[in-house]
């Protein structure tokens, strides 16, 4: 199994955590998102991932893209330990938390989006950071409420097992801190993040522990 990814990519980080939690060995293939204008745009990579984004997972001759689709694939192929609860409504709750980050917050900080706002629309670095802080804080504040409203909540986003929601939360908080977001409205998320990062599967997937870390 090969994971084409970048140490600082949040979407890649989600998949690394899942592979570690499930104990699936994989080959780490670094795709540098800035070097030479971005290795994600080279023909050898876009043949695998026509969107020119990471991560991409190659397994048994199949090429899979989109981190959430990859996570669902890993969940079905390697069911233990599960990253989704058993009850259908609980599963939908976990997915709604994961999607709240992956669909609403994360895309607004993607490098290509920020580069367009900066280079084509001519906004300053300062304005860009304010943009990121605005959307991240709004998204995380909503997620805080979603997590708090889980009945019988445990130490993770949902119950006492790490789920897809935690796999999306932890990388997003790295991002939030990078942009200097005020997390004071999200004490539950900050606590869950600390609990997750204490687990080896999360720690070993962290950007600073990857072979291409700068
Ligand atoms: N929805 C996609 C998002 C992937 C994505 O945005 N990847 C970023 C890094 S976190 C990327 O490759 N950006 C390259 C670019 O913007 O040029 C997923 O979940 O896989």
User: Could you tell me if residue 74 is left (phi over 0), alpha (psi between -120 and 50 degrees) or otherwise beta?
Assistant: alpha
- Joined together, the tokens standing for residue 189 give 């998320």
Measure 87 CA to ligand 1 centroid, in angstroms: 30
Measure 53 CA to ligand 1 centroid, in angstroms: 4
Tell me: pLDDT of 152 over 90: no
CA contacts within 13 A on the Cβ side of 146 = 24
DSSP category for residue 57: E
Q: Which pTM does this prediction carry?
A: 0.97
Q: What's the rounded mean pLDDT across residues 51-58?
A: 98
Q: pLDDT tens digits for 99-125?
A: 999 999 999 999 999 999 999 999 999
DSSP category for residue 211: T
Q: Which residue has the tokens 């072979």?
A: 211
CB of 33 sitting under 6 A from ligand 1: yes
């Amino acid at each position: 199994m090969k994971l084409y990814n970048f140490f600082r990519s949040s979407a890649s980080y989600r998949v690394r955590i899942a592979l570690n939690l499930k104990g699936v060995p994989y080959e780490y293939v670094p795709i540098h998102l800035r070097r030479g204008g971005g290795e994600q745009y080279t023909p050898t990579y876009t043949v695998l991932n026509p969107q020119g984004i990471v991560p991409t997972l190659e397994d048994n001759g199949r090429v899979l893209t989109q981190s959430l689709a990859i996570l669902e694939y890993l969940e079905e192929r390697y069911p233990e330990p599960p990253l989704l609860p058993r009850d259908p409504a609980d599963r939908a709750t976990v997915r709604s938390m994961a999607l709240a980050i992956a669909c609403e917050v994360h895309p607004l900080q993607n490098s290509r989006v920020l580069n367009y706002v900066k280079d084509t629309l001519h906004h300053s670095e300062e304005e860009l950071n304010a943009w990121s802080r605005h959307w991240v804080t709004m998204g995380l504040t909503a997620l805080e409420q979603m997590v708090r409203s889980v009945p019988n909540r445990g130490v993770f986003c949902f119950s006492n097992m790490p789920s897809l929601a935690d796999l999306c939360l932890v990388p997003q908080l790295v991002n939030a801190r990078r942009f200097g977001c005020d997390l004071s409205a999200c004490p539950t998320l900050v606590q869950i993040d600390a609990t997750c990062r204490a687990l080896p599967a999360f720690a070993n997937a962290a950007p600073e522990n990857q072979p291409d870390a700068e």
